[in-house]
Chain A
């Protein structure tokens, strides 16, 4: 099953001879030298005519819906990279070095793994893909805890990690890594984007009650949202941590009823958010008047998949998303079109970020002219691009975080279709959500491992 192809050594030697022979005519001999050196020295250097990517997503557990959509997006991205389908965002991305013949002329193949939304399981499946299947890049997520654990592993192993859906500040904050990259936005940006809208709609005198998923993402989101709301003059009544995958939140919601708080902030995601929101509505929270004000619920991180699960209960509730399929720019539309043609429904924001990450990685390899990770990392750091659905975007070199516009959305009051669930309130410009890279601390680590 895992036979090594020894004949590759010969072909590399042949390649070296050939490049030495053409060195005189080649305009940049250093270019070949660099590749030749690199090819000897890195893990899972592609052999033969194909390159393997590893997609590590939750196929079971509280985030399984997101995981399934991410996998669809990865498959679509691989198809487009190999020149299949209608090309999707390959037609709108700029600048772009991809040619639609795989990456650096090698056909893209993929292997998949199930993270089970557990750090241990995720690291085990990532290790399998790296050690057994020879994956050159790992991508995936849907839980920040898992993303951080896998990102750490990838740094140790010298394999690039393109984070999927992970929203914790820590991923590109205190736990950032040289080999880890995140296109998705984070809790800090959600807070900055939500602030002005909250002030406009709910005023500056409210008492907030937080229910928070008890792990890195929940903690940092609670912290960022608290910072924003307290900046508006709101009081934080209480913050309660709930276990991930709790299922029944009634024991956490009952105390809110008579607590005197008038705003509930749900730092939950996936099935947890669907359950907690549904129960909060069933308990009549939204019909209450507290302190002379209408009781409000806020879900800082929203996705359409969750909206589908929560149904009616989500109408009118504010939150933020990284991307929405209703966006009208050419990149979004191209992606929605090819995703819809293949699967019959529009993509979620998790699918979007995973698709974009795969293309960005492939493009960086083309730009670097090699698969050698340190060179690919340098190509990604500080990369400016457009046409991928969020307007002008930059991969900041200091923390490997993408900076782009953030969407403030609201549960649609009058949906026109079963997918038209989120109404875009405001597209918050990038300048409003930017922050200093040094505020979270952390250290990227070395290029070479």
Chain B
């Protein structure tokens, strides 16, 4: 439940990423993001882990809503996989980003298909983004979901060239 509260800032951020298309479609009450994206099938794997996994609704919901308004293809399982990973390991990711390396950071970059040559640049960008995000006085009091979403957004932007390559 604690993650079910998607902050307005996170949602606004995701809408900004997708531009006018998603903003207009976000008003469409008929959209069921799990159905349209097939995210439910990817996450809830019929083996009893749904309860354990359901605490990442915030990012799946956000991802699903924004993606569903564009096309089902955009909410690929890879996006969901990255969002789950970031949500679950945000504290370690933030620490390793500050340190500049670590197993969680390596895994995140791997999920984004960042090759060895691209990683240094991506990590530099992630560090800069985290430095800016954590410089805000209210950072310490931010909800876990908001911090994780911020990192997820930063990762997607920093690694955009990785995915393209």
Do A and B assemble together?
no
Q: Which B residues are within 8 Å of any A CB, using their own CB?
A: none
Q: Which A residues are within 8 Å of any B CB, using their own CB?
A: none
